[in-house]
Amino acid sequence: MRWLMKVFGNAWSTGLVVVLLAGSIGCSGAGEQTRETDASDKVEEQTQFVEANEEAHASGEHQAEKHQSEKHGEGHGHGAEPHGHRFENPEKWAENWNDPARDEWQKPGEVAQVMELGEGMTVVDLGAGTGYFVEPLASEVGPDGKVVALDIEQSMVDFISELAGERGLENVEARKVAVDDPGLESESVDRILTVNTWHHIPKRAAYGRKLYEALTPGGKLAVVDYTKEATQGPPKEMRLAPEQVAEELRLAGFEAKIADETLPKQYIVIGTKPKK
């Protein structure tokens, strides 16, 4: 099983599916420009408040030893550099993150259904870590689609590239990205998936806007993270409620909703970019 341990995912070029962070503003038309301008103004207006909460969140994480332990890494497929620690040994983390037993509660097939993935899409795995989701996503989008796996650790990117080569996943591309920028072009992906990563992202309102701009009209961002009640994951005081995540996505311009109780340990929040 593979998973996201940092802040980055996958990006594809034929059919598009991105999981969490996207690139540029890509809507045209006077009505849409007005709506995007309003959304941008709203983001700017509330960014100071949101970022203050995020800084407090990050500060608390720095003080929590549990967050730097392997227990926090269980099922945590991304790196947490914004929290002051890194995950540079992919072989070590893959033993846990890519363990087939994870399928029982991670349910990658059901996550794909909630995202409404289809053949030919380009999907981004944001914070791809050791690539737990790479193969399931590649299977869903098919040979005409593309999976772009993003991570902030070069070691994870190299691990995924090697994994894709070993498994013959020709439609998978792994990229190293910056902590604060997914590096995605405007309207270049159809779906974005980010798993156990959103709470690591600094300045989420601004980052969410970049993902919004990277999605094609009608595209979706899926945020998967641990519930407050889950027995694994980050310290409970550092977890985000799904309602908060949904509001952050709305501030970025998305139409957001909390998905039904699909997963036993995590929630799924879906952000949809309105069609033109």
Please give the pLDDT value at position 88. Answer: 66
Q: If you average pLDDT over residues 3-30, what whole number do you get?
A: 36
Q: Is the pLDDT of residue 7 over 80?
A: no
The CA-to-CA distance between both ends of the chain, in Å, stands at 37
Name the percent of the chain lying above pLDDT 90.
Answer: 58
Q: Identify the residue whose tokens are 């890519």.
A: 98
- What domains appear along the chain, each with residue ranges and CATH number? 16-272 (3.40.50.150)
CA 252 to chain centre: 15
| E strand map for the chain | 16-17, 122-126, 146-151, 172-176, 189-195, 215-226, 255-258, 266-272
Please give the pLDDT value at position 17. Answer: 41
Please give the pLDDT value at position 208. Answer: 98
Q: Is the pLDDT of residue 16 over 90?
A: no
Confidence of residue 87 (pLDDT cuts 50, 70, 90): low
Confidence of residue 239 (pLDDT cuts 50, 70, 90): very high
- Whether 187 contacts 119, CB under 8 Å: no
- Whether 82 contacts 200, CB under 8 Å: yes
Q: Is the pLDDT of residue 62 over 60?
A: no
- For 210-236, write each residue's pLDDT tens digit: 999 999 999 999 999 999 999 989 899
Q: Quote the tokens at residue 3.
A: 């998973």
**Global pTM exceeds 0.75:** no
Confidence of residue 99 (pLDDT cuts 50, 70, 90): confident
- For 64-76, write each residue's pLDDT tens digit: 334 444 445 554 5
Q: Is the pLDDT of residue 80 over 90?
A: no
Confidence of residue 94 (pLDDT cuts 50, 70, 90): low
- For 149-189, write each residue's pLDDT tens digit: 999 999 999 999 999 999 999 999 999 999 999 999 999 99
Compare 27 and 86 and report the one with higher pLDDT.
Answer: 86
Confidence of residue 249 (pLDDT cuts 50, 70, 90): very high
Residue 23 φ/ψ, nearest 5 degrees: -85, -80
Compare 16 and 255 and report the one with higher pLDDT.
Answer: 255
Q: Is the pLDDT of residue 132 over 80?
A: yes
